[in-house]
Amino acid sequence: MIHKSSSSSAPFEKLRVWHDAVAFAVLVYRLTAAWPASERYGLTSQVRRACVSVVANLAEGSARLGKRAFHAFCQIAYGSLKEVEALLHVAVAL
């Protein structure tokens, strides 16, 4: 069994931002289901993976000890969110 000796962060299930990220990922999965089959392994896959990365990095960061480590994972999650934004711009332009 793994125990954390001390942490300033909450379990990810208690983070509102994590729940929002999950809801956003579900929405993106539903929207991209209607995208062309030719994009299944291209744009569709990439935007979905980036959404999942947001969720995963928030969860992983919450398990790290200290605010600095959690903040670093939040920055990674934010970067993935900006990736989703950019990819959605590409999708609209297509």
The predicted-structure confidence for 36-57, as pLDDT tens digits, reads as follows 999 999 999 999 999 999 999 9
CB 5 within 8 A of CB 17: no
Check which CATH number belongs to the domain holding 66 and give it: 1.20.1440.60
Q: For the chain, how many structural domains are there in total? A: 1
Decide if 7 is inside a domain: no
Query: According to the model, what pLDDT value does residue 6 have?
Result: 46
Domain interval for residue 78: 12-93
Q: How is residue 33 written in tokens?
A: 């289901």
CB 51 within 8 A of CB 84: yes
CB 84 within 8 A of CB 48: no
Report the sign of the C-alpha dihedral through residues 35, 37, 41, 42, in that order: negative
Q: How confident is the model at residue 5 (pLDDT cuts 50, 70, 90)?
A: very low
What's the predicted TM-score (pTM) here?
0.85
Max CA pair span of the chain:
50
Q: Calculate mean pLDDT across residues 79-90.
A: 98
- Closest to 84 measured CA to CA, from 40, 44, 56: 44
Q: How many CA atoms lie within 13 A of 44 on its CB side?
A: 13
Decide if 4 is inside a domain: no
